[in-house]
Copies of this chain bind each other. A is one copy, B any other.
Amino acid sequence: MRKPANAVASASEPLAERCVVEAMRLIAERGVEELSLREVARRLGVSHQAPYKHFPSREHLLAEVVARSFEHFAEFLEARERHGDPHADLGELGLAYVAYASEHPLEYRLMFGTTIPRASAHPTMLHRAQAAFSHLARGIAATRRVRETDEGVRMDALFVWATLHGFVGIERSEITEGLAFTAKQRREALAHVLANIGVVLDAHGGAATRTR
């Protein structure tokens, strides 16, 4: 139904796919602001108008790239944990979240930092985000004796997500660099934030994640 994620953009691939791959590469090289349909076409050795046969506008191509990033993100989260113990799994999930943001800053910034594509216009993107959220809610619910749809679980999931998201967002925005935090302190900050999350989950549910 879909091409495998590790497919290489060879000349035999359909142009739409090659456009997406090349766009991601271009963003990785020069940043999302520098993404240009013409440059994509140029690198693909194709006329500057060819991509328009597959994407109505630059924004639509960007939205497709963002959707891919969400997919990649979900796969990344899925690939971790599985320790058997729900509490440890939840801790691993938090670490994986931050690790992804740290290892793939471009894609993370694409997903949460890009204001260009209005989410409501691209439903598949929302669907992917929803999947990631219920992943988290499931992890929290597993540490208690309640369902994933439990009100408290959903509230706490929102809290955890907000905290992690906010942390990487602030760290990414280079503002902390102007705040006289050393590199060591920033690493400690992550541990501190995760520990605080543990405190909250501990207070609301069963014993929470251990920190390190």
Contact = CB atoms under 8 A, between A and B. Distances in A.
A162 B193 contact: yes
Interface in A151-180: 151, 154-156, 158-159, 161-167, 169-170, 173-180
> How many copies of this chain does the complex contain?
2
Contact of A126 (B118, B127, B175): B175
B115 A158 contact: no
A113 interface: yes
A119 B32 contact: no
A121 to B, nearest CB: 10
A144 interface: no
A133 B33 contact: no
Given A155-B188, A199-B199, A200-B199, A170 B178 contact: no
A165 B112 CA distance: 12
B32 A178 contact: no
Interface in A164-212: 164-167, 169-170, 173-181, 185, 188-189, 192-193, 196, 199-200, 203
A177 B126 contact: yes
A163 B161 CA distance: 9
Interface residues of A, number: 50
A166 to B, nearest CB: 2
A116 interface: yes
Contacts of A31: 115
A203 B113 CA distance: 32
Contacts of A113: 113, 115
A47 interface: no
Contact of A112 (B33, B167, B173, B176): B173
19 contacts: A109-B115, A112-B173, A113-B113, A113-B115, A119-B175, A119-B177, A120-B174, A120-B177, A130-B180, A155-B189, A155-B192, A158-B181, A158-B193, A161-B170, A162-B169, A166-B166, A169-B169, A196-B200, A199-B200
